[in-house]
Chain A
Amino acid sequence: MRVLRYIGRRMLFIVPQLVGIVLVSFLLVKMIPGDPAVMMVGPMASAETLAKLRTELGLDGSIMYQFWIYLTNLVQGDLGTSWQTTRPVLNDLFVRFPATLELITLSLLLALLIGIPLGVAAAYFRRSVVKKFSDYYGLLAGALPDFWLGMILIYFFYTIFQIAPAPLGRIGFAVMTPSPVTNFLIIDCILEGNWQALWSTLGHLILPVVTLGVITAGPILKMTQSTMERMLESDFIRYADMCGLPKSVVIRQAFRNSLPSIVTIVSVLYGFLVGGAVLVEIVFSWGGAGQYAVQGVLNADINPVLGFVLFSAVLSLIIYLIVDLIYFAIDPRIRG
């Protein structure tokens, strides 16, 4: 019951939060120099054409007026049109976001698989090779740029060993793509029973997922390690040792108490990667949401940018809600 009431209260605040986010990002995007009308008509157009287009786009009104127009369209589910793709932003985002989410979700899973066991082991075996290794790993993962690692992986596994597919998108050219239902390719392939496409999709996912996963494991490793170290030195773990509980039980106990911090860093990373994966997306021609937004910014194409911000914001709010629910499940002190 408490949980339901809590969720309800959170939902109440979502709409004003979103309006605020859209307003701020609208103003920020408008501050970027560059006139979309000029970009759209090209350098050879006459002054009248330009003025006409500006009126059509509502660019001659005040900025608050423009925001009002955007907001009223938004309420009707219209995120505007991208003049670059000439398609409604909403349609574009429904393709682009799943592409990015598929990539970063799998990457985070890989990062968890690397970071958590390594972090726990490094915290427990204080003077071991594992600890040394994880120290260097954390340092390297923090220092290496992800796109660089991506290019190195492409060089070795595509160019030299030729065991990875070409870094050109999410699926091979020669493969029948499944009909888009969710636009998560893995899910669509399974829904359709298209195993050849699934195989190709998974193959294309490997390198970018490894790239992002290996780099993102760094912060997860660090957080796991430092929290576990703190927990292993805490009073209740010392007491568990005094009670002679088996090592495995003591470690599990410390890990459970470390979970809230780990969940927090994962949620932060997830929100960050939606836009932060853009360089890796570019390297692998992924066609993800980050790329879409960056192209929008570079070409004064404001609607894709705002749409991206809005989608990311909703996603973040959902993630934080889920995180809070996980806290609820783990920690009786919050439930209390």
Chain B
Amino acid sequence: MANETQKVFDTGQPVLSIDGLNVSYPVYGEDPVQAVRDLDLHIQPGEIVGLVGESGSGKTTLARSVMGLLVQPGRVDTGTIQFDGKDLRALPEKQLRAVRGKDIAMVIPNPRSELDPLVTVGRQISNVARAHLGIKRDEADQMAMDMLNAVQIPDPDRRFKAYPHELSGGMAQRVVMAISLVCSPKFVISDDATSGLDVTVQAQVLDLLRALVRSHNTAMLFITRDIGITAHFCDRVAVIYAGEIVEIAPMQSFFENPMHPYSVMLLAAFAHNPTLRAKWHKPLASAAPAHGGACAYAGRCVHAEDHCRQNSAELRELAPGHLVRCHFPVERPL
């Protein structure tokens, strides 16, 4: 998979365009927490974009904003989310429901608690198909069965009638993939989807997901905490820190020449090179991101200078398609 020649996506009409998105969670008696900040992201049809960041960096908030399902009391303050020419934020709830699961599907982690415990998994797949495609039960059941085959569940006839508690984590994850892909969506968001699985199962499931998405030319936003996965998986990589994209680049460019200190730190954390890790890890760093007049990463950056603490950084294109939000981009990690 890693040796597949990297796809190049033209800059035509993106399937998903996020522009200037700001999402915040009001806190009683305090300033609201800004979870996503001035975020731009454009995804082409068929493109797989990896979104990497630590917990709390705004990955899931971004995904939920796209779905229009922010957890209370979160709200989108400004920005547009265009999907397939439609402004999702302006869409009424009922039409949004018709988009969710049909055109934009979501693959989620911990699938066993995400499935209805009282309904057989086959039915859960066909229910989604029925709701969106307006087809009869028999036809939907047949589609569900085809999907179970497509996600390579062993013994699909028996699994069709199984309840979620009777499945292993890996199988439940395949069922969730079947649900999300049954309506052939144009865009899939995978939110940390394999984090609960064993590493071996994880690899199988990811390979399968990638193959299915590729075969339908479906675009995907692949959210993960594991930067290593994105290397095999994505066409482009975006790194998010404190609600801001700090680096976004085509996969090859990113891994050959990471330029943001945070990206390098993430890569170093996964690398088996103690020198590299020691060089980029700042012990007891203040995690509190400073905004407004400072680079958000300045508090944790090993290379931060006074300039960084006084001036916020803008995204700059430093190589073709390779944008970095840093005053002093990294030239040589080691």
Contacts and interface: CB of A to CB of B under 8 A. Distances in A.
A235 interface: yes
A234 B178 CA distance: 21
Candidate in A238, A239, A331 with the most chain B CB atoms within 10 angstroms:
A239
B273 interface: no
B118 interface: yes
B69 A246 contact: no
A9 to B, nearest CB: 23
Contact of A244 (B102, B118, B166): B102
Interface stretch (A38-46, A103-111, A188-196, A249-257): A249-257
B171 interface: no
Given A242-B69, A333-B163, A247 B118 contact: no
Contacts of B165: 332-333, 336
Nearest to B71: A238
A241 interface: yes
A293 B238 CA distance: 75
Nearest to B100: A244
Given A242-B101, A242-B106, A244-B97, A333 B132 contact: no
A242 B100 contact: yes
B217 interface: no
Given A235-B110, A241-B69, A257 B99 contact: no
B69 A238 contact: yes
Contact of A236 (B69, B96, B116, B180): B116
Nearest to A240: B116
B138 to A, nearest CB: 19
A140 interface: no
Contacts of B206: none
Nearest to B125: A243
Interface in B126-165: 127-128, 131-132, 163, 165
Contacts of A333: 117, 163, 165
A163 interface: no
Interface residues of B, number: 29
A330 interface: yes
A331 B163 CA distance: 10
Contacts of A235: 110, 113-114
Interface string A314-336: 00000000000000001111001
Contacts, number: 73
Contacts of A244: 96-102, 128, 131-132
Contacts of A331: 117-118
A56 to B, nearest CB: 61
A74 interface: no
Contacts of B69: 238, 241-242
Contacts of B98: 244
B69 to A, nearest CB: 6
Contacts of A245: 97, 101, 127-128, 131
A236 B117 contact: yes
Interface in A9-35: none
Candidate in A241, A243, A245 with the most chain B CB atoms within 10 angstroms:
A243
B113 A236 contact: yes
Contacts of A242: 67, 69, 100-101, 105-106, 108
Contact of A243 (B100, B110, B113): B100
B117 A257 contact: yes
Contacts of A332: 117-118, 163, 165
Contact of A336 (B101, B108, B132, B166): B166
Nearest to B176: A239
B97 A246 contact: yes
Nearest to A234: B113
Candidate in A235, A238, A242, A332 with the most chain B CB atoms within 10 angstroms:
A242
Contacts of B118: 256-257, 330-332
Nearest to B110: A235
A248 to B, nearest CB: 10
B105 to A, nearest CB: 8
Contacts of B97: 241, 244-247
Nearest to B114: A239
B115 A239 contact: yes
B251 interface: no
B179 interface: yes
A328 to B, nearest CB: 12
B196 to A, nearest CB: 12
A241 B115 contact: no
Interface string B3-45: 0000000000000000000000000000000000000000000
A228 B31 CA distance: 32
A257 B116 contact: yes
A31 to B, nearest CB: 48
A241 B64 CA distance: 11
B217 to A, nearest CB: 21
Contacts of B131: 243-246, 249
B123 to A, nearest CB: 11
Contacts of B180: 243
A175 B209 CA distance: 76
Contacts of B166: 336
Nearest to B163: A332
A331 B165 CA distance: 11
Interface in B75-105: 96-102, 105
Closest 3 CB pairs of A and B: A244-B100, A244-B101, A243-B101
17 contacts: A235-B110, A238-B69, A239-B115, A242-B67, A242-B106, A243-B128, A243-B131, A244-B97, A244-B98, A245-B97, A253-B116, A257-B116, A257-B117, A332-B165, A333-B117, A333-B165, A336-B165
Given A241-B69, A245-B131, A331-B117, 5 more contacts: A244-B97, A244-B102, A244-B132, A257-B116, A333-B165
